[in-house]
Structure 1
């Protein structure tokens, strides 16, 4: 009898641990950790990007350690990841244009000048993809010593873009002074406030 109770307790613990390994946002399960450049990253925060009344994607920000301020995140050493899981189909033109708009809305003239070549290459990456479909997963990783690496559904897309200033400019799409979605920003910073579900 004691043996059966031990097995039941072990099964309960495994189930609890399995449930703790993912965070659910708008029906999308995000792992609470990710591995980038052989380093374990933690899910800092997650939420839904809403445009007008439409839920566009779930976003998750992964960092080596949890941070709650934009300045701390932008000055971090080590790898980082932003994961986007699409909640609807979007043309690659529209998706790419929204990225470029977000970059432009959150970078000053000097920053834009510094990253203009990488921004153009980033835009070209979206031209290689006919569309982004519901359920597609786009990841944007910062890999120290290499650069910004993008994948769509686990396949590398585009070039590696070497400047940390570019990756930080991409993060500012969601974390900058003029974020793409003002309710998503606090969620990525680890706040439970906002309309993420």
Structure 2
């Protein structure tokens, strides 16, 4: 009997992991791993950002190893990728930039001072015209800083470990842009 229970548990863990590996959300394919600047990261979790009853984007978190420890992820200097894919025509560059700025304010509890210049640099990359299907990869590379890619093309690199923590905190902090999305990205 105990062997059947253990076998059933192992099978359920395997099937759960397989489902994550083949994830698709709102028509967006979410790969099980990504590689940037020589760092391969695995899918930790993904979810949909909704605002005012509109599904705005799909966000996925990639890490070197899966983790449910938000504080550990935020405090780490390890590589990470937060992939954001726009899924609504209602998301404009200006709205996306303002939402990101609000996320930084929440993540830092209103203390943007030490990273204000880096935040402004990132926000500028979001202000241009957006369309449904555009994808941003916010990749922390310990060798260079946070590399911001749009549709696979490097836009800018923003330095600083403090910036990395605040940027990831938009989704993972104790005051995230959406609690259910945080849980989904952490695989909870």
- Among 151, 154, 158, the alignment partner of 1:153 is 151
Q: CA deviation at 1:76?
A: 2.6
Match for residue 176 of structure 1?
173
Match for residue 91 of structure 1?
92
Alpha-carbon distance in 2 for matches of 1:179, 1:20: 22
Q: CA deviation at 1:39?
A: 2.1
**Is it true that 1:103 corresponds to 2:100 in the alignment?**
no
Structure of greater Rg = 1
* Root mean square deviation of aligned Cα: 1.8
Q: Structure 1 unaligned segments of length 5 or more: list them.
A: 1-17, 192-197
Q: CA deviation at 1:28?
A: 1.4
Distance 1:186 1:19, change over 3 A: closer
Alpha-carbon distance in 1 for matches of 2:150, 2:106: 25
Q: CA deviation at 1:119?
A: 1.1
Contact 1:36–1:80 (8 Å) recurs in 2: no
TM-score (norm 2): 0.84
TM-score (norm 1): 0.80
Q: Structure 2 unaligned segments of length 5 or more: list them.
A: 1-17
Q: CA deviation at 1:156?
A: 1.7
Contact 1:36–1:79 (8 Å) recurs in 2: no
Deviation string 1:71-112 (CA, Å, 9 cap, x unpaired) is: 111133431100011111222111101000110012035x52
SS at match of 2:112: helix
Alpha-carbon distance in 2 for matches of 1:46, 1:125: 23
The equivalences for 1:53-72 within 5 A come to 53-72=53-72
Alpha-carbon distance in 1 for matches of 2:104, 2:59: 17
SS at match of 1:140: strand
**Is it true that 1:186 corresponds to 2:183 in the alignment?**
yes
SS at match of 1:31: coil
The equivalences for 1:1-197 within 5 A come to 21-89=21-89, 90-108=91-109, 111-127=111-127, 129=128, 131-157=129-155, 159-191=156-188
Alpha-carbon distance in 1 for matches of 2:125, 2:28: 25
Alpha-carbon distance in 2 for matches of 1:104, 1:23: 31
Distance 1:112 1:83, change over 3 A: same
Contact 2:44–2:62 (8 Å) recurs in 1: yes
